[in-house]
């Protein structure tokens, strides 16, 4: 179960991903899920926890029910229309989210990695991104030498549980910033 602070961070970073992906054209549920999954994997590969979405193997790559619920909630709060963030998000949420990245090395790394992932995969069509996700090789803690591509994992198998992954750095905000983000996102 995600903590309240994790949900705030996840929703704010989801808005950031949507903001970054928007210039790359058509976005859909499957593509968004894969982009966020690839962001989360890249962050974990660098020893950073920022997103807290659990994923399972889905017919079209990776799927997170938490991400899907957060997207629906942001739509209900009128912060997202279809897959486009509102002007209010662009003018208020994104600047607050990225404020202070010069002085916070972890935040700076998170935004740079997310920009790189979205910059690389965002222009690709959904089928290309699904193939990239399905080519990702995962290991288990019991047998770290044995790698299995996601495409070979049985559907509905849990493939990513963030709280079980050891990291060196954690993306966080002070309580006052979390409260302001919640307010700006309508919570």
Query: How confident is the model over 116-156, as pLDDT tens digits?
Result: 999 999 999 999 999 999 999 998 878 889 999 999 999 99
> CB of 51 within 8 A of CB of 23?
no
**Helices 29-45, 4-21: crossing angle, 10 deg rounding:** 110
What six digits make up the tokens of 71? 């997207």
Question: Which range has the worst mean pLDDT, 29-38, 40-49, 107-116, 142-151?
Answer: 142-151
Percent of the chain's residues with pLDDT above 70: 100
pLDDT of residue 141: 76
**Domain assignment of residue 134, given as a range:** 4-184
The answer on pLDDT for 84 being more than 80 is yes
The answer on pLDDT for 103 being more than 90 is no
pLDDT of residue 143: 86
The answer on pLDDT for 1 being more than 80 is no
Look at the chain and report how many structural domains it folds into: 1
Give the CA distances from residue 59 to residues 83, 115, 153, in Å, rounded to whole numbers and listed in that order.
Answer: 21, 26, 10
> What number is the average pLDDT over the span 98-117?
91
The answer on pLDDT for 100 being more than 80 is no
Question: Which range has the worst mean pLDDT, 27-31, 137-141, 181-185?
Answer: 137-141
Cα atoms found within 13 Å of the Cα of residue 57, Cβ hemisphere only? 17
Give alpha helix (H) positions in 22-164: 29-45, 65-76, 87-88, 94-98, 105-121, 126-135
């Amino acid at each position: 179960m995600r903590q309240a602070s994790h949900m705030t961070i996840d929703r704010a970073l989801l808005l950031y991903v949507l903001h970054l992906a928007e210039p790359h054209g058509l976005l859909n549920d499957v593509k968004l899920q894969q982009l966020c999954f690839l962001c989360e994997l890249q962050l974990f590969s660098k020893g950073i926890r920022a997103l807290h979405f659990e994923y399972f193997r889905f017919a079209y790559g990776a799927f997170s029910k938490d991400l899907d619920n957060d997207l629906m909630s942001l739509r209900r709060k009128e912060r997202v229309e279809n897959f486009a963030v509102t002007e209010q998000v662009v003018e208020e949420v994104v600047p607050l989210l990225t404020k202070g990245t010069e002085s916070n090395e972890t935040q700076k790394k998170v935004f740079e990695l997310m920009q790189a992932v979205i910059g690389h995969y965002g222009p690709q069509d959904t089928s290309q991104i699904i193939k990239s996700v399905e080519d990702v090789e995962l290991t288990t803690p019991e047998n770290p030498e044995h790698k299995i591509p996601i495409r070979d994992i049985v559907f509905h198998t849990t493939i990513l549980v963030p709280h079980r992954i050891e990291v060196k750095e954690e993306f966080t905000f002070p309580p006052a910033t979390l409260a302001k983000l919640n307010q700006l996102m309508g919570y």
